[in-house]
Structure 1
C-alpha cells in the first residue's frame, strides 16, 4: 500500500498525516505501513483520537441536518394544509352566498381553476380545488386538521363519507405511519369494516376514535384476511406451498394485511420432536405483544387435526423457543373455510392463544359489512 505523507503541526507535535481511508482500514500491518512514513505508535494514537473526534463531528452534523430538515418539512406541510383549508373555506362560504351561487352554480370550480392557474401557474386544477373544499367540509375546525398526515392522505380521507370510518383511517394512518399507497390499500380492502363488523356498538366507536389498539392477542385478529394483492383468480388450484411462496414474495403487502407489530422470522420453521421433523409454515414475532406468532396455511377447510398440530407447535415454542421476557406464543390456523361447530369442539381444552381464521383472495362485499355495522350502531344498549 502506497502512503502519501504530509506534515502538519498537531498537539504541538510535528507529525505525518495519513488519509482517513487508511485509518478506517487499518489491519494487522498498520504499524508497518505507517512506519514507512516515519510515524510512531504515539503519533498513531493521536491520529486515531483525531479520527474518532472527526467521525463524531460528522455524525453530529448529519443528525442536526436531518432533524432540521424534518422540522422544516413538517412546518411546510402544516402551512400547506392550513392554506388549502382556508382556500376551501373561502370556496364554501362563497357557495353559500345566494347571488353568487345563482351566478356561478356548478361552474364555480371550473372558473376558479382557469383564473387561478393564469395567476399562479399549476396547482389549482378543478379536482384539487374540490379536495380543498371537501377538506374544509370534513374538518370545519382548522385546529382539528391531522397535521401529521400529508395533503395526499387528506385527499383520500375526504373520499370517505362515513365520519366514523374516516376517523378510523385517519387515526390508523398516524399510528402506523402509512404512506398514501398503504392507506389506499387498506381502504380498498375494507380494513375498518372487517374489524368493526365483529364488534358491538361500544367497540365500533372506540375503534373509530382511537384506531386499532393492540393490547391482547385478539386485538391482532381479523375475521377474514384479504389477499387480493396476490392477484389469484378464483377458482384457484395452488398448493399450500405455492400460496406460502406467493405471500413471502409479497411480504410487504402481507405484513400490511397482518397489521402493525409483526416482524417476519422465517418460513418452514423446523421443529424436531423425537425422530420426526415438523415445519411451521410462517413464524413472526410481534413487537407489541412480545411473543411469537405462528401461522399455518390451509388451502381448504380447517379441521380438528390442524388445531391439534398448531397446539403442539405452541407448546414447543413456549418451552423451547421462548425466553424469560417473551409472552406465550400465538397460533393462527389460516384456512379458506371453517366449520364453526367442528372448530368449537376442536378448540376444547387447547391453548387460549390458538385461533382459526379465514382468508379470501378477493376484496370483501363492502355493503354487506356496512349493513352489519349499521345494525350494531342502531341497536340500543341493553
Structure 2
C-alpha cells in the first residue's frame, strides 16, 4: 500500500496529538478535582453531624460499612479513609480553595500533607511545588521529611548586590541551606574528593536534592588561564537561570579565602565558557560548617554572584523524635539483658 504524501499532514498530525494529550490531561485533572471535592464534602458533613447531632466516633465505622455495601466497586470508603476525609475538611475550610488548588493533586498526596504537616502555610507551599514540579507522592514525602520548606532560599548570598532583581530573586530561591546528602552513605569524616566522587556516582539523587533546572556538566572540569591549570570541583548549567553554576566542596568550616578563589573561577568561566546569551555564572560553596557573619563579610565586596551553604552527610534527627530514641546506655543495658536471657 502506497501512502500518499499530503502537504501539511505531518504538522496537522502533530498538532492533533498535542491537543488530544492536553484534553486527556484536563480530563484526568477534572476527575481528580471532583473526587477530591467529594472527599472534602464528605469530611465536612461528618464534622457537621458530629458537632450538631452529637454523633460519636463509631459512626464513621458504620458509615464505612454502609457505603461499601452500596458501592462495592468503589475504593476509598474504608474507615481509615473516612477519617482522612474528616481531617482533610478540618485542614481546609474553604471549598473554593479546595476545588481550585488542592484538587490539582491526588488524594495520596493530600493524605501525606495532612498527616505530616500541621501548618497550613507549609501545606500550601508544598502543594504549589508539587504542581510546579510534578512530584510523585514518594518525592513529596521525601521533600517534607528533609524540611525543604525551611531550607529553600536560605543560603547566604550576595545575589541582591550582583544580579538584577528578577534574576537575583530566582537565584536565591534556587539555593538551599543546608543540603542533605544522606543518600551517599558516608560518615561525617569524609573528605572533599570522596564526597565529590560519591555525589557524581549518585547523580540522580544529587540532582534531586539540588532541585529542578540543574544539568550536570562535569567533575574536576579543567580551566586554563595563561598556562596555569585550575580545576572546578563540580560544574552545572541551570536551565531556568540560563547560566553556569560552579560548585566548590569543602570538607571543613567555611573560610573567607574560599570566596575569593571562587570569584576568580567565575571570572574565568564567564570569559572562556559563557555564551553571549547566558546570564552571569553563579558560584556555590558547600561546606560542613559556616558562621553567618563571617560568610556575610566574605561576600560583601565579591563582584561575582556567590552563595554559601552547609551540607549534611547524615540527616539530622527531627526534634520531635529525639526524646523517643534510646541512649547509648539504654542500648547497652538492653543488649546486656538479651545476653543474660540467652544464657551466654
Decide: shared fold, TM above 0.5: yes
Match of 2:47 in 1: 92
Greater gyration radius: 1
Q: Does 1:65 align with 2:20?
A: yes
Unaligned runs of 5+ in 1: 1-5, 7-16, 21-46, 200-212, 369-382
Distance 2:67 2:184 in 1: 43
Q: Does 1:229 align with 2:180?
A: no
Distance 1:144 1:353 in 2: 39
Per-residue deviation at 1:134? Answer: 1.7
Per-residue deviation at 1:346? Answer: 4.4
CA RMSD of aligned residues (A): 2.9
Distance 1:325 1:153 in 2: 39
SS in 2 for 1:152: helix
Q: Name the CA shift for 1:217/1:73 in 2 (closer, same or farther; >3 Å).
A: closer
8 Å CA contact retained: 1:336, 1:359: yes
SS in 2 for 1:82: helix
The TM-score with structure 2 as length reference comes to 0.77
Per-residue deviation at 1:352? Answer: 4.5
8 Å CA contact retained: 2:219, 2:234: yes
1:142 paired residue among 76, 85, 95 = 95
SS in 1 for 2:110: helix
Q: Name the CA shift for 1:58/1:90 in 2 (closer, same or farther; >3 Å).
A: same
Q: Name the CA shift for 1:312/1:67 in 2 (closer, same or farther; >3 Å).
A: same
2:204 paired residue among 241, 252, 256 = 252
Per-residue deviation at 1:366? Answer: 4.8
SS in 2 for 1:134: helix
Match of 1:240 in 2: 192
Match of 1:128 in 2: 81
Q: Deviations over 1:123-163 (max 9, x none)?
A: 22222112211221122222101232221221122221112
Match of 2:326 in 1: none
Match of 2:142 in 1: 185
Distance 2:242 2:30 in 1: 35
1:115 paired residue among 63, 66, 72 = 66
Per-residue deviation at 1:303? Answer: 2.7
Q: Deviations over 1:76-111 (max 9, x none)?
A: 111111111121122112211344x2xxx2323333
Distance 2:88 2:217 in 1: 41
Match of 1:360 in 2: 312
8 Å CA contact retained: 1:333, 1:357: yes
Per-residue deviation at 1:264? Answer: 2.5
Q: Deviations over 1:259-288 (max 9, x none)?
A: 333233332222112333222122222233
8 Å CA contact retained: 2:154, 2:176: no
8 Å CA contact retained: 1:296, 1:310: yes
8 Å CA contact retained: 2:60, 2:79: yes
The TM-score with structure 1 as length reference comes to 0.70
Q: How many residues align?
A: 304
